[in-house]
Amino acid sequence: MPKEAIHAKGLEIGIYTNDFNNEFISLTDIARYKSKDPFIVVCNWMRDRETLQFLGLWEELHNPNFKPIEFDRFKSEVGLHSFTMSPEKWIKGVNAIGIVSKRGRYDGGTYAHSDIAFEFASWISAEFKLYIIKDYHRLKADENSRLSLGWNLNREISKLNYRIHTDAIKNNLIPPELTPQQIHFTYTSVTSRNG
């Protein structure tokens, strides 16, 4: 899993992706802005009625294996004093894909799809969310620049390879005793068969 980081107000916030389309941002790292016990912060956020509705809607939109009946059970319990929620309970209960709980000493914690992570950051602090978004955009611009450079480099290499290929055909496969018209006809037919 490639891992990068956002830097916001002195905190490093981990990002990882499995498929280079969906990026997951560390809720654990974001929660450290508010408390030294990030797990409790994440769980408190997940107990909120609006948060639960947001998470459920996100899953409905993106997850074909979402379990709506289990989600309805959670919705009916939210607001009760005895209601608790954790990332693991949410993931197992509704078969969630938007939040991931990872074990590990260095990259463990709770990660969420960027849509969800930005919502969590709003709950932590609107100002902090803006710092996160700003550095996230910087990271994406750097990534796009690297990808663009790679594409241009591949394009130039392809042009050079084409030139080497066509010169090799012209110099090695076409007999020198042919007339210019015969060379043109032979060269065109050889390159169209090999191209």
Q: Are residues 70 and 119 in the same domain?
A: yes
- Are residues 72 and 23 both part of a single domain? yes
The verdict on 17 and 113 lying in the same domain is yes
| Residue 87, both tokens | 């990332």
- Amino acid code (one letter) for 62: H
Same domain, 119 and 152: no
Judgement on whether residues 90 and 14 belong to the same structural domain of the protein: yes
Residue 178 lies in a domain: yes
Residue 14 lies in a domain: yes
Residue 20 three-state SS:
coil
Judge whether 62 lies within some domain.
yes
Is the predicted pLDDT of residue 2 greater than 50, yes or no?
no
pLDDT of residue 160: 67
Residue 23's alpha-carbon distances to 5, 27, 55, 77, 145, in angstroms, are 11, 12, 16, 30, 18
Same domain? 23 vs 108: yes
Tell me the C-alpha distance between 94 and 85, whole Å.
12
User: What is residue 118's predicted lDDT score, i.e. its pLDDT?
Assistant: 95
Residue found by looking up tokens 């910087």 in the block: 138
Looking at the fold, whether 119 and 155 belong to one and the same domain comes out as: no
Asked, for residue 59, whether it belongs to a domain, the answer is yes
Rounded distance between C-alpha atoms, residue 105 and residue 61, angstroms: 32
Q: Do 17 and 58 belong to one domain?
A: yes
Per-residue model confidence (pLDDT) at position 18: 73
Q: Share the mean pLDDT of the chain.
A: 84
pLDDT tens string 23-33: 899 999 999 99
Same domain, 87 and 177: no
Element (H, E) at 194: helix 180-194
Q: Indicate yes or no: pTM above 0.75.
A: no
List, in order, residues 6 or more apart from 148 with CB less than 8 Å away. none
Does 188 share its domain with 114? no
- Kindly state whether residues 158 and 107 are assigned to the same domain: no
Which domain covers residue 181, as residue numbers? 148-194
Domain count along the chain? 2
Judgement on whether residues 112 and 177 belong to the same structural domain of the protein? no
Residue where a domain terminates, one of 69, 89, 124: 124
